[in-house]
Chain A
Amino acid sequence: MALPPEDEVYLDYQSARPVDPRVVEAMLPYFTERFGNPASLHAPGDRATETFEQSRAAVAGFLGASPEEIVFTSGATESNNLALIGYASRNKRSGDHLVISEVEHISLHNIGKYLEKEGFRVTKVPPDQFGRINPDKLRTRITDDTILVSVCWASNEIGTLQPIPAIAEMLKGTGVALHVDAVAAEGQVPIDMATVPVDLLTISSNDIYGPPGLGALYVRSGVRLAPITMGGGQERGLRSGTENLPGIVGMAAAARIAAAELATEAPRLAAMRDRLISEVLSTIPDSHLNGHPVDRLPNNAHFRFDGVEGESLLLSMRDQGIAVSTGSACSSKTLEPSRTLISCGLLHEEAHGSLEFTFGRYSRESDIDRVMSVLPGIVKRLRDMSPLYDTA
């Protein structure tokens, strides 16, 4: 079992996940004896083609999609780029306006900035205090020039699930395409393209315990994109570059395992999440849950503590061998408070006091015991030296 070391508690599955040993085992032959380029006409090439298409079918099956609707990429960021830039470039005759929710991953905000430089207009739609996008509010942002809306399936930070079926239903027949970043949600909640009319959907391999550096974009049949990577025309011209065969085999294995285990794993994670939330809120005074109290990812517990700052919390947890996250790991370099938390209505000092726990396949009940044995003391120590917290 790929457990973290016994003395280490890893509750940051949102940042990175171990690759499932069953996935590693499935991949290994494809590095050595079963190598091959699907474009080659000889026997190893043919074998590679066969393996490759079986893998594509497995990933498609995971999403309730057809194999020809799956495009492999180098990861979620590339999938998001291909979805937005590829769709906007190909469909600009229909309009120059895109709508992005405020609670998206930073990659989508930065793609939006790039598209604005390229002459498109990008409007943001804010969430409610629980981080949820209201379809009616989203509707007010749509104009005759709108070509695409992008809303995540669940927030990667606070874990709030978005009403994607309702949003997809609202957009149906309007001619406005819907892109969904499903990276935080994949493998945790059912995602079925056969029943939800999403046009473009981003997934990543590592977020279902597959190898990192690999992702896919679901492109509904009939949806037209312009490629953003030029080359030998692989992936029907949408994503050139020789296929990463071992990686794709791994992602397919990961997708099969995720689909088979979702029904048992999701409730197991949700029970741990609920235990942590209940113990933190009842043990630590002036602690708050960020995100939605109920409609949230099974593995996400996101808190803030009045009067303390997140990096100090994180460093103190690290000293105790506990790996957690504060805000979005990706945006910590900018020193800016998390955009998601600010758009939920938090003040800067509240957003800075946040701490994110994300559970995963190798999380144990004992991890929560460890957290609860140190967190109340850490918060108290930091509050004792904080001018923002009145102990009286």
Chain B
Amino acid sequence: MKSTQYSEKTLDHFRNPRNVGILEGDDVAVGRVGNPVCGDLMEMYVRVKDDRIDDIKFQTFGCGSAVATSSMITELVMGKTLDEAVEVTRADVADALDGLPPVKMHCSNLAADALHDAIKNWRSGKRLTPLGAEEIAAAGAGCGAREATVVQGVAEYAGKGVYGSLDDVSVLADKRVLVVDKGIPSARLALALTGVTPRVIFVTELETLGLPEEVATGVKRSDVKVLLRSRLLAVRGEGEVEKVLIRDLDEDDEYELFVDAVVLLGT
């Protein structure tokens, strides 16, 4: 069965998804699951009153079935007690959509998992709260707090694509450059690099850009691709830098990324 051979009901939920959006307030918990390899990321927001799901909303980056299963599960559990809601299984979601192509069954897992994650967070008292000023300040003070981790291959590729300093950005014209967060100088360098190459990636272990506001805004508005909560583990290649190994600190997942140069200021 082709991945696009969806049931009419699935297509309907894809075209007209129910309960899209986010919820806010201190009576809201959120569940977040994703599988970047499949290209799905799902957030499920639940508002609970008297142990019942009073409201539920979702956001999805994903395929047709990821959208449809998210939409379907919100309809299935709206108004249900939490005990009833956790009983809703992946199979229930697929059945309610008149079935899913076998290759897409894992997407129904995601919707159910996101809901269960949200309920688990609610029950453990974890509420959705916007980041407080203190937390932002803590992240911002991160210049000193950034961990000095050992990156494999840095010494081996010194002068072969790994840069401990960079006086002239034009040597990296049209290269794919990974800049590791070392505070303000590294962010400014990333910005400068966008003038000579379309591909600049800024990798930081922090949850938000731990930079003074004007620098952070500059980075956000630029073509710099920011990887939050990510750690550079290794530099790889045959004779010169060709790839890096990145760890996604939230997903506990590692992946390779093709780059031509790595800038690690101070190494």
Binding site for B on A (CB under 8 A): 126, 128-129, 140-141, 307-312, 314-315, 318-319, 332-333, 335-337, 342-345, 347-349, 351-353, 384-389
Contacts and interface: CB of A to CB of B under 8 A. Distances in A.
A125 to B, nearest CB: 9
Contacts of B175: 129
B229 interface: no
Q: Which 10 A-B pairs rank lowest in CB-CB distance, beginning with the nearest?
A: A352-B39, A311-B63, A387-B59, A345-B258, A345-B176, A388-B61, A386-B61, A385-B20, A315-B64, A387-B43
A341 B38 CA distance: 14
Contact of A347 (B62, B103, B225, B239): B225
Given A312-B63, A386-B60, A348 B37 contact: yes
Contacts of A310: 39, 63
Given A314-B4, A333-B103, A385-B17, A348 B64 contact: no
Contacts of A348: 36-37, 39, 255
A349 B41 contact: yes
B67 A312 contact: yes
A384 B59 CA distance: 8
Contact of B42 (A332, A342, A344, A387): A387
Interface in B195-244: 197-199, 225, 227, 238-239, 242-243
B259 A345 contact: yes
A336 B3 contact: no
Contacts of B58: 385
Contacts of B27: none
A385 B67 contact: yes
Nearest to A319: B15
B260 interface: yes
Nearest to A388: B61
Contact of A140 (B11, B62, B63, B239): B239
Nearest to B62: A309
Given A126-B242, A129-B199, A388-B41, A311 B4 contact: yes
Contacts of B59: 385-387
B249 interface: no
Given A126-B258, A388-B61, 16 more contacts: A128-B176, A129-B176, A129-B197, A140-B239, A309-B39, A311-B4, A312-B62, A315-B64, A335-B37, A343-B258, A345-B199, A348-B39, A351-B39, A352-B39, A385-B20, A387-B60
Most B C-beta atoms less than 10 A away, residue of A128, A315, A333: A315
B174 interface: yes
A172 B64 CA distance: 49
A128 B176 CA distance: 8
Interface in B74-103: 103
B143 interface: no
Contacts of B63: 309-312
B157 interface: no
A310 B239 CA distance: 35
Interface residues of B, number: 45
A152 to B, nearest CB: 18
A314 B260 CA distance: 32
Contacts of A140: 238-239
A172 B237 CA distance: 26
A343 B242 CA distance: 10
Contacts of A351: 39
Interface string B1-36: 001101000010011010011000000000010001
B3 A337 contact: no
B103 A335 contact: yes
B61 A309 contact: yes
Interface in B105-125: none
B158 interface: no
A333 B3 contact: yes
A348 B253 CA distance: 12
B257 interface: yes
A97 to B, nearest CB: 13
A23 B87 CA distance: 60
Contacts of A307: 61
Nearest to B67: A312
Among the interface residues A126, A307, A319, which one has the most CB atoms of the partner chain B within 10 A?
A: A126
A385 B60 CA distance: 6
Contact of B61 (A141, A314, A387): A387
Nearest to A348: B36
A349 B257 contact: no
A347 B238 CA distance: 21
Contacts of A129: 174-176, 197-199, 260
B238 A337 contact: no
B198 A311 contact: no
- B36, B37, B62: which has the most chain A beta carbons within 10 Å? B62
19 contacts: A129-B198, A141-B238, A309-B66, A311-B3, A311-B4, A311-B63, A312-B62, A312-B67, A315-B11, A335-B37, A337-B37, A347-B225, A348-B255, A384-B20, A385-B59, A385-B60, A386-B59, A387-B43, A388-B41
Contact of B257 (A309, A318, A345, A387): A345
A372 B175 CA distance: 32
Contacts of B41: 349, 387-388
Contacts of B39: 309-310, 337, 348-349, 351-353
A319 B16 CA distance: 12
Contacts of A309: 39-40, 61-63, 66
Contact of B64 (A312, A336, A345, A384): A312
A347 B201 CA distance: 10
Nearest to B239: A140
